[in-house]
Amino acid sequence: MILLLLMGGLLGGRLLTKLESKGSRRVFGWLMVVALLVAAHLNLLGADPIVRMVGICAVLLAAMKGLVYAEWAGPKQLTWTRYLIFGLLWFGMDPGTFAKKRVGLSWRGDLGWGLLMMVVGVVMAWVVWAFEYRHILLMFVPMSLGFHFGALRVLKAAHRWYGFPVRTLFPNLLKAQGIGDFWSRRWNVGYSQMMQRVVGRPLGSVVGRDGGVMAVFLVSGLLHEVAITLPVMAGWGWPTLYFVFHGGLAVLERRTGRRLGKVLTFIAVGAPLGFLFPQTFQVEVIERFLGVMKWING
C-alpha cells in the first residue's frame, strides 16, 4: 500500500502539470500531499515506529517531489525515465538537473569523500552505542555523517558519473556564517530549494519577504512534525517551535544586516536539538537505529 501511495505522489506530479494555472497546481498539489499523508498514516497505524517513520517519510518525499515537479515543469518536461530517476533515486529537489546529461563531470572526489564519511559515521556510531552515550547530539552526529555527508555524497558521485550534474546537498557546514546561511546554503540544499519553490516564492509575493521566510520555517516545522512526531504519536509542536525560533533568527539577521556568526549559529542549531527530536522519538527510533551496531560485535 505504501508503495502505491509513493507512486501516487509521483504520478500526481505529472498529472498536475496538465493544469495551465500555477495557482491550481499549487492548491491541488497541496491537497494531494495532505491526502497521501493521511492515507499513509492510517495504513501504518499500529506498525512499529521505525516502520511508520520510513513509510510516512517515503510518501512525504514522493508527494513533495510531485509538487516540486508541477511547480517547475513547463512546456518541456522530463522523460518518464528521468522523472523516475529524479523521483526515486535522488534526494535533491531540482528536476532541471536531469533535463540534460553532460560529459566529463567530476565524481571521484565525491566517491572518496563519501566512503570516508560513511566509515567515520559507522565508527562513531559504534562508539556512541558501545559506551551508551544517549545525548541527542552524540547520537545524531554519527548518523548524519554516515548518511548526509557519506551515503548521499556517494549517490551524488554515481549520478555525476552517469552524466547528471547534481549538486552536493550538504556543503561545508563549517563555512556557515549565520542561521539564514546555514539553512539556505549549508544544510540540505535540496530541501531549501524545495521550500523556496513551493512556499517562499509563492507566499513571499503576497506577505512580503519576511513573511515568506517565516512561512518557510513554519511549514518546515509542520513537515518535520509529519516525519518525526507523527510516527511516534508524541512530542507534538516541538519541531515546529524549533523551526519558528530559527525563522525568527533568520528574519532578525536580515533586518539588522548582521549574521550570528559561526559559533552562535552552531549553538542555536545544536543546543535545542532535543526540541526537533523529542524524547519519545529519540528512544523509539534513534536509539533503536543505533542498536544495529551490536551486529558489529557479532
**pLDDT value for 50:** 95
**pLDDT value for 294:** 72
205 & 265 share domain: yes
**pLDDT value for 298:** 57
137 & 250 share domain: no
Residue ending a domain, among 101, 121, 146, is 101
**pLDDT value for 68:** 96
How far, in Å, CA of 189 to CA of 168, rounded? 8
List the beta strands (DSSP E) in the chain: none
214 & 277 share domain: yes
Residue ending a domain, among 101, 118, 141, is 101
**pLDDT value for 137:** 93
Q: Is 163 left (phi over 0), alpha (psi -120 to 50) or beta?
A: left
Cell of 111: 566517491
Taking the chain, what is the end-to-end CA distance rounded to the nearest angstrom? 35
Does the reported pTM lie above 0.85?
Answer: yes
φ, ψ at 214 (rounded to 5°)? -65, -35
191 & 286 share domain: yes
139 & 65 share domain: no
Residue ending a domain, among 136, 163, 190, is 163
**pLDDT value for 226:** 97
84 & 8 share domain: yes
210 & 281 share domain: yes
Question: How many domains are contained in the chain?
Answer: 3
81 & 176 share domain: no
**pLDDT value for 204:** 82
96 & 106 share domain: no
Instruction: State which residues of the chain have pLDDT below 70.
Output: 296-298
How far, in Å, CA of 34 to CA of 56, rounded? 12
**pLDDT value for 297:** 62
DSSP 168: P
pLDDT per position as a tens digit, 56-101 = 999 999 999 999 999 998 778 999 999 999 999 999 999 999 999 9
Q: Which domain holds residue 151?
A: 102-163
The 10 Å Cβ neighbour count of residue 90 is: 22
Question: Contact at 8 Å (CB) between 37 and 226?
Answer: yes
CA-nearest of 71, 63, 3 to 36 is 63
79 & 183 share domain: no
297 & 174 share domain: yes
Alpha-carbon 15 to chain mean position: 24
58 & 124 share domain: no
Distances (CA, A) of 119 to 28, 124, 136, 181: 43, 9, 20, 28
3-state DSSP assignment of residue 45: coil
